[in-house]
Amino acid sequence: MVEKTLVKKSSPGSVQPNPASQRPDKPRVGAVFWASLVLLAGFLLWASISPEGLGNVMTSSMDWIARSVGWSYLLVTLGCIGLMVYLGASRYGSIRLGSNEDRPEFSTWAWLAMILSAVMGIGLISYGVAEPISHFMAPPHALAEPGTMDAAVRALQFSFFDWGPHAWAVFGVFGLSIGYSTHRKGRPGLVSPMLRPVLGRLVDGWFGKLVDVFAILATLFGTTTSLGLGAAQIEEGLNRVFGLPTGLSVQVVIIAIITVLFTLSALSGVNRGIKYISQITMALSAGLALFVLLMGPTSFISNIFFRSIGQYVNDFFQVSLITPSTPDDLQWMQWWTYFMMAWWLSWGAFVGVFLAKISKGRTIRQFVAGVLGVPSLVFFAWFTIFGGSAIKFEMDGAPIAAQTAENLNSAFFAMLNELPLVQITSVVTMILVALFFISGADANTYVLSMMSSKGHLSPTRPVLTIWGVLTGVSAVLLLLVGGLTALQQAAMLSALPFTIIVALLGISLVMELRTDPEFDVLRKSRFDLRKTVYGSGKRTDL
């Protein structure tokens, strides 16, 4: 019996997915799902039985990574920036993530809102004041005298370094690679298939499954760090506004409540839950930033913004490749620069899959501008408004630095305390943290479910529920093991394999783009033009 298949005729230059590599018709779990669950269960069992032993192993491992290969985090993230800029400016920028006829599913506003809110929104509150004020009182690498104007500029410069293009370029490389592989090539929404140009048939066997398991675990541990930060921020806000007690038990209750909320949001789908929550958080964030800009030290903020941008651009390559020279310097790098770069790498697969999901139909040039350019500028502005205000208030005698040193989570609220309407802005901040919390964990749950369902873009409700619950449980157990320190260590350790994976992804992406059918059409057109102008028997170059 011969099966007849209808094939849609495509226009020149359009890309039709390879039938042999199509995504599965139905979402099904496989070896990657079960292997991830087994490894995670073993880790959680270890955390439950011997939390001290796990904490010691994680600490010693992280110390070794910082001393021996911490530089690799810097090198890979800088390489990601170069690749993103090259792809956006080159001829490849016109290629769409999808067929040539595809157009974006979401409006530009909704798309940017989801990128900013679901990806790193919670960090805006957790570190928006804490990092600049910490660097202001203890300038990185002793580049300025503490408490001076030079220290203020350096504080924002290094905040830009940690939260700007270095972070977003990592996300962009993952997102472009997975988006191209998924939407243009019709492959499953996984990391491993994109490595085929470099690794060949290895991606079809155990090695490819191992890469996807690494991606799932790194995504999970990167997100648990955010859950811990969010719980601590909400706890601090409840204490300041309502006088509620603080403690580990309170954070556990907060994580439990938020886990239920983001799991329910994930079950509603990207088009509803994440989309609407992201737009609400962006509107509230813009309103809060505008309030602080107008009611705070406006002149100081505007002046230090341009000065810090100039310092950032001037020292870009020097800071991008700076390594520790003393034991104290190494410790500082371990808890700031190395941790931040590792955090972004551990989030790479999660953010990449999510960006690929919401970016179908956009050109590579649009993707680079929307993922590398716009978020970096937004984060620069945010850190300057909130961190710059805190620095100015500290210069004028407010005890913000002392409160930050005592409790990192109090920094944002300490800054708001120097402005009018502190009760209202504190409540708005807690709402923002909760919404950032929900939208980020919501996206994380969706991505974990998709990657463990053989890359299917519509994972089943049971799988979504399982990963939502496991994310919350992992965050709670890591808090019990060692608090925020354990969460940060887990993120940094899980990121190590991705220094290699992201480099291979970048190479694979360029190899794939060089053979894209879009350029086959262009080459054929040039060949036909040569024949028309010069005749088929004469060798010429146009």
Tell me the helix, strand and coil percentages in the chain, rounded to 5: 80, 0, 20
Contacts of 446 by beta carbon, 8 Å cutoff, 6+ apart: 266, 270, 274, 354, 357, 459, 464
> What 3-state DSSP class applies to 363?
strand
Fold of 27-519: Amino acid/polyamine transporter I (1.20.1740)
| Domains of the chain, residue spans | 27-519
Q: What is the 3-state secondary structure (H, E, C) of 446-506?
A: HHHHHHCCCCCCCCCHHHHHHHHHHHHHHHHHHHHHHHHHHHHHHHHHHHHHHHHHHHHHH
**Two structure tokens written together for 276:** 């609407």
Q: What is the pLDDT of residue 6?
A: 37
Q: What is the pLDDT of residue 359?
A: 92
Low-confidence ranges of the chain (pLDDT < 70): 1-27, 118-121, 268-274, 481-488, 519-542
Is residue 249 classed exposed, middle or buried when 0-12, 13-18 and 19+ CB atoms within 10 A define those classes?
A: exposed
Residue 275's nearest CA partner among 350, 358, 348, 378 is: 358
Contacts of 112 by beta carbon, 8 Å cutoff, 6+ apart: 282, 370, 374, 375
Q: What is the pLDDT of residue 455?
A: 78
DSSP E strands in 278-430: the ranges are none
**Two structure tokens written together for 344:** 């972004």
Q: What is the pLDDT of residue 87?
A: 95
Q: What is the full DSSP assignment across 108-173?
A: HHHHHHHHHHHHHHHHHHHHTTHHHHHHHHS-GGG-S-TTSHHHHHHHHHHHHHHHSHHHHHHHHH
